[in-house]
Amino acid sequence: DAKTTQPPSMDCAEGRAANLPCNHSTISGNEYVYWYRQIHSQGPQYIIHGLKNNETNEMASLIITEDRKSSTLILPHATLRDTAVYYCIVRSNNAGNMLTFGGGTRLMVKP
């Protein structure tokens, strides 16, 4: 699976948009970009995923560049409960489909 690079930490003011970048320059054509987050020591929580097109759901938006080498997760109105470690994962559709977690970005939402 392609490796991802994320900033280790970011701060965001409550109520503002949080934009979390991810670089995956070695992504191949059949690999999806997934985002999960982990609040404290809870189980990772699925947020969103995409292949080529931008995606939006009730939690977030995912913007994937045209060359697919990077993406941005957008939390439109961050709240204190969004403080967590956010993981960007590139996943192939090979047999197994395991997730390879990197270090993630520790997002701190501040009042």
* Residues binding other proteins (CB under 8 A): 30, 32, 34, 36, 38, 41-46, 49, 87, 93, 95-103
Least separation, in Å, of the C-beta of 16 and other proteins? 28
What end-to-end distance do the CA atoms of the chain give, in Å?
A: 37
Least separation, in Å, of the C-beta of 57 and other proteins? 11
Rounded to an integer, what distance in angstroms lies between the CA atom of residue 37 and that of residue 57? 15
Q: Which is nearer to other proteins, 21 or 102 (CB)?
A: 102
Q: Is 75 helix (H, G, I), strand (E, B) or coil?
A: strand
- In DSSP terms, which residues pair with 50 in a beta bridge? 33
31, 25 in Cβ contact below 8 A? Answer: no
Q: Which is nearer to other proteins, 25 or 94 (CB)?
A: 94
Least separation, in Å, of the C-beta of 96 and other proteins? 3
